[in-house]
Copies of this chain bind each other. A is one copy, B any other.
Amino acid sequence: MENIFTDEYFMRKALQEAQAAFDKGEIPVGAIVVVNDKVIARTHNLTELLHDVTAHAEMQAITSAANFLGGKYLTGCTLYVTLEPCQMCAGALYWSQVSKVVFGAADDQRGYRAMGTKLHPKTQVVNGVMEAECSALVKTFFKQRRG
């Protein structure tokens, strides 16, 4: 039987979160945390609503998943996020020792790769999953803002 729990399957859920952020006027980034094919955290960017630069989707997802698990390490977990993490979020993912990070759209300006941030050596990275959809949402957001 075909495994339905692909990276695309979970990225679609992260995209739903990004859409929720979009609908609130937030930069549209969504994240989820998955362990054993089960979603244990769903979050989206809330920096404007909370007046808080630390309220990126990934930061909330890490806190929420750790709360669910009852421990601070996310070993065995995968974080899906629609946009490449920034320095702050990659730094938090480093501390969390998350097993896998999957992101959609690249962020060539402020993404962790361009900024030189280190993830944990045990963390596997997959990028470009549903890149077109993830990227289109961000581009539409900024186009509307400028328009």
Q: Are B87 and A118 in contact (CB under 8 A)?
A: yes
Q: Does A138 contact B (CB under 8 A)?
A: no
- With an 8 A cutoff between CB atoms, is A32 at the interface? no
Residue of A51, A52, A70, A96 with most partner-chain B CB within 10 A: A52
Q: Which residues of A in the span 50-100 have a Cβ within 8 Å of any Cβ on B? A: 50-54, 59, 62-63, 66-67, 69-73, 86-92, 94-96
| Count of chain A residues with a beta carbon within 8 Å of a chain B beta carbon | 31
Is A147 an interface residue when CB atoms closer than 8 A count as contact?
no
A121 close to B (CB within 8 Å): no
Asked if A125 CB lies within 8 Å of chain B CBs, one says no
Question: Smallest Cβ distance from A51 to chain B, in angstroms?
Answer: 5
- A81 to chain B minimum Cβ distance, whole angstroms, is 15
- For residue A114, give the distance in angstroms from its CB to the closest CB of chain B: 10
Chain B residues near A91 (CB-CB < 8 A): 86-91, 115, 117
Q: A115-B117, A117-B115, A118-B115 are in contact. Are A72 and B87 (CB under 8 A)?
A: no
Leading 3 A-B pairs by shortest Cβ distance: A88-B91, A87-B91, A53-B95
Given contacts A51-B72, A53-B95, A88-B91, 18 further A-B contacts (CB under 8 A): A47-B72, A51-B67, A51-B71, A52-B66, A53-B66, A53-B96, A54-B54, A54-B62, A54-B63, A54-B95, A87-B87, A87-B118, A88-B88, A88-B89, A88-B95, A90-B91, A115-B117, A116-B117
